Amino acid sequence: MYAKVIIEYGAKAVDKEFTYIVPSNLTDKISLGSRVLVPFNNRLIEGFVTDILNKADTTYELKEIKEVCDEKPILNEEMLYIGEEIRKKILCSKISIYQAMLPKALKADVKTNIGIKKNRYLTLNISKEAANSFLEKCKYQGQIDIVENLIINDKILANNLTSSISTLIKNGIVKETYEVVNRYNVTPSGKYKKVSLSSSQQEVVDSVYLDNHEVYLLYGVTGSGKTEVYMELIDRVLKLGKTAIMLVPEISLTPQIVDRFATRFGKDIAILHSGLSDYEKYDEYRKIMDGKVKIVVGARSAIFAPLKNLGIIVIDEEHTSTYKQENNPRYHARDIAILRGKYNNIPVLLGSATPSLESFARAKKGVYQMLTLTNRVGHATLPNVLVIDMKNEVKKGHFILSRDLENKINEKLSKHEQIILLLNRRGYSSMLTCRDCGYVLKCPNCDITLTYHKTSNTNRCHYCNYSVKNVNVCPECGSKNIKEYGLGTERLEETLNKKFNARVVRMDIDTTSKKGMHEKIINDFGNHEYDILLGTQMIAKGLDFPLVTLVGVINADSSLNIPDFRSAENTFQLLSQVSGRAGRSDLPGEVIIQTYNPDHYSINYSKNHDYLKFYEEEMKIRKVLNYPPYYYITIVNVTSKDYNEGFSEANKIGNYLKKYLSKDTQVLGPSMANVFKINNIYHYECIIKYKYDDKLIPVLTKLDEIYKTNNKVDISIDVDPIRM
Ligand code: ADP
Ligand code: ZN
Ligand code: ZN
């Protein structure tokens, strides 16, 4: 017997399956998807079995599989199939997609050593009468204590082995047993109560057919009760004896959703997200593999959860960019969901208040089924939005908070209501400049300005983490006239603390790097231990606090000024999402948006909660400029340590693409990427725009092949990029 094994070796060069002999002692243990240890280039490495063969080409001498690593196969047939299919679409290596499917503990990698945790328990190995007579004779206090304890308690935890325990075990008085421990546990707060659905929610639930594959787009305004719809559908799926995947953008930001699921479905759920340690992920993942749970709630990679008998996949906030992985393999969770939906013949439900243009266009064309929820639940209404032109405010000396926002904050504080403020920039100020010579503090490794962080008194690069102590004199001209420019969350926090008598909490990467901090901030704010929550976009999504009646956006322009064709869409989504945090229950909500572009359509339509108008306007622009969803985009990134070599290879690649792709396909560039230098690596890119090009995949595959052995530059191919 022979087996084909796929291995990860040298990242770039190998994406091939190699044939090995299965020695007779392993034939019973091996199957499709097994993780195995094989010799390769005088080393032992791990790989996955992708095929089992009776015959093999033995022109070359074949080697033997050394070992089967696990009792059961790690990849099931569906996963192997998904790997094959997605590779054809995104041109990643097959091994990279298999690795992405798995928690660290189960990846093909001999270096990881993440095991199961077990507790040792002691029980009596003799009758209680016998134990009592043992006690009469025994002289050792350590042993007496344990046996007495066991007479009362039947079973005790004893992870540390003492000499008394060893002796008792050796003499057959007590015996030890081991139980596997789950290192991750959600404790439901009990705050969630199951509701009875409104007639419009019920209608949506009834429109989803559970016994065949279809993609549904649930377009429902913020607070319209989408989450309740998801839970009801999942409930129905469970009643059919099936299982469900519920994807959320980034779970550590949405502990409230987890809490709702944990309260309603109890032990039936597993949670997978980046906030868990590798050990906790392994424990959660094993629950799924062993069929112990019926629902997986998780972020992007949870889309690969190996649930058997899958009945529905739900993707909440489907427009969110975190569903696309931005390094290899660059897959989009939505594409994987649809592949799995077809494979299992089950519905895929995408939900959003601000669907991506791609999904909405597909739903309008009937490729997806459109479902809508147009109103908020109960008496709640969408908040009133006021747009403030900061040009006028700045003239009067109000740089950070406009007079309207300041007044409103005071008003809400006096009523003991809560406030959320969004500022999409962390740190204290955006940069340091010299007022005399114009010098700007930049990162030596990246072409990006450094951000001043007051807490640590350093200037830091948000791309490569370079950090340097703060300076008081200009390194260029020696002037002391060096000033901060721009506004970050640290400085906003400082301003709020000075101006208001309020309890303020800040949530950004810097305050949440410690494990569990997201959850803590959100819980504490939910318990009204704070009046104002300020933060970066991580506060914009999924939060549901009934006491929040005011949302302020400090600078709506930060996402608008990014040079990306999606910047208007991203701005509209961000503003709508964060506005959606206000007035979600009986108290009416208000939103104040500060901007230097008060006439921009993305700001105006979001002010009027008018997704449809925004969609129409933005689609016109996309059409004229040949952007998605009218055209597809693929980017070929060319990176090099050497400026000139990068440039010349990028040019060759541009010419190659122009020569071999179809006539109707546009190839733009090469040009310098938005951030041209990161960590001393130069980034060039060629942008390919096309409606349909059957040459694309073969040409790119060839290009990828050619550059695998090139050591001057690296290329990476991003199909349907989420960012330009
Ligand atoms: P969305 O996911 O669309 O933003 P949610 O599902 O979070 O909306 O619902 C918003 C709020 O309304 C939540 O507090 C939720 O518990 C409540 N809610 C949803 N549906 C109902 C209902 N049918 N009856 C009463 N309250 C509801
Ligand atoms: Zn200077
Ligand atoms: Zn840097």
Which string of DSSP letters, residue by residue, matches 589-608?
Answer: -EEEEEES-TT-HHHHHHHT
The CB of 330 under 6 Å from ligand 1? The reply is no
Q: What is the pLDDT of residue 10?
A: 66
Residue whose structure tokens are 């739903």: 363
Q: What is the pLDDT of residue 702?
A: 93
**Topology of the domain comprising 384-426+488-622:** Rossmann fold (3.40.50)
Q: What is the pLDDT of residue 598?
A: 94
CATH number of 199-373: 3.40.50.300
Among 191, 194, 195, 231, the mutation site with the greatest number of ligand 1 atoms within 8 A of its Cβ is 195
| Cβ-contact 112, 362 below 8 angstroms | no
Give the side-chain half-sphere CA count within 13 A for 171. 12
Q: What is the pLDDT of residue 599?
A: 95
* pLDDT tens string 581-618: 988 888 889 999 999 999 999 999 999 999 999 999 99
The CB of 197 under 6 Å from ligand 1? The reply is yes
Pairing of strands 482-485, 467-469: unpaired
Which contacts of 20-25 are long-range, i.e. CB under 8 A and separated by 24 or more positions?
20/62, 20/63, 20/64, 20/65, 21/56, 21/62, 21/63, 21/64, 21/65, 22/52, 22/64, 22/65, 23/64, 23/65
715 three-class SS: strand
* Assigned superfamily of 632-719: Ribosomal protein S10 (3.30.70.600)
| Cβ-contact 54, 1 below 8 angstroms | yes
Q: What is the DSSP letter of 683?
A: E
443 C-alpha to ligand 3 centroid (Å): 5
Q: Strand ranges (DSSP E) for 641-711?
A: 666-678, 681-690
Q: What is the pLDDT of residue 541?
A: 78
CA 15 – CA 92 distance, rounded (Å)? 9
Tokens matching residue 310? 């899958």
Q: What is the pLDDT of residue 666?
A: 95
Residues with CB under 5 A from ligand 3 (ion): 443, 445-446, 461, 463-464, 466
Helix axis angle for 611-624 and 567-579, nearest 10°, is 170
Among 218, 227, 317, 579, the mutation site with the greatest number of ligand 1 atoms within 8 A of its Cβ is 227
* pLDDT tens string 143-194: 999 999 999 998 999 888 888 899 999 999 999 999 988 888 888 888 888 8
6 three-class SS: strand
Residue whose structure tokens are 């959600």: 186
Give the alpha-carbon dihedral of 315, 320, 322, 328, to 10 degrees: 90
| Cβ-contact 678, 707 below 8 angstroms | no
The CB of 584 under 6 Å from ligand 1? The reply is yes
- Block means of pLDDT (10 residues each) for the chain, 724 residues, are 88 75 95 95 92 89 94 95 93 91 91 87 92 91 92 89 90 92 84 92 98 97 94 98 95 80 92 90 94 96 97 97 94 98 98 97 98 91 94 92 97 97 89 85 87 88 89 89 87 96 95 88 94 92 88 92 90 93 88 95 95 97 95 96 95 96 94 89 96 94 89 92 89
CA 503 – CA 488 distance, rounded (Å)? 19
129 three-class SS: helix
Q: What is the pLDDT of residue 11?
A: 57
441 C-alpha to ligand 2 centroid (Å): 10
458 C-alpha to ligand 2 centroid (Å): 19
Tokens matching residue 626? 């040949």
Tell me the residue type at 403.
R
CATH 3.40.1440.60 fits 2-106, yes or no: yes
The pTM of this model reads 0.91
> Which residue(s) pair with 469 in the sheet?
458
Terminal Cα distance for the chain, rounded: 49
- Backbone phi, then psi, for 487, in 5-degree steps? -130, 130
Q: What is the DSSP letter of 78?
A: H
* Residue 525 to residues 136, 381, 566, 619, Cα–Cα distance (Å): 59, 23, 32, 39
* Residue 217 to residues 230, 314, 315, 348, 702, Cα–Cα distance (Å): 12, 10, 10, 9, 36
> What's the order of all strands across the beta sheet hosting 243-247?
269-272, 295-298, 243-247, 310-315, 347-352, 214-220, 369-373
Q: Quick one: which atom of ligand 1 is closest to the CA of 222?
A: 4
Tokens matching residue 391? 């040009």
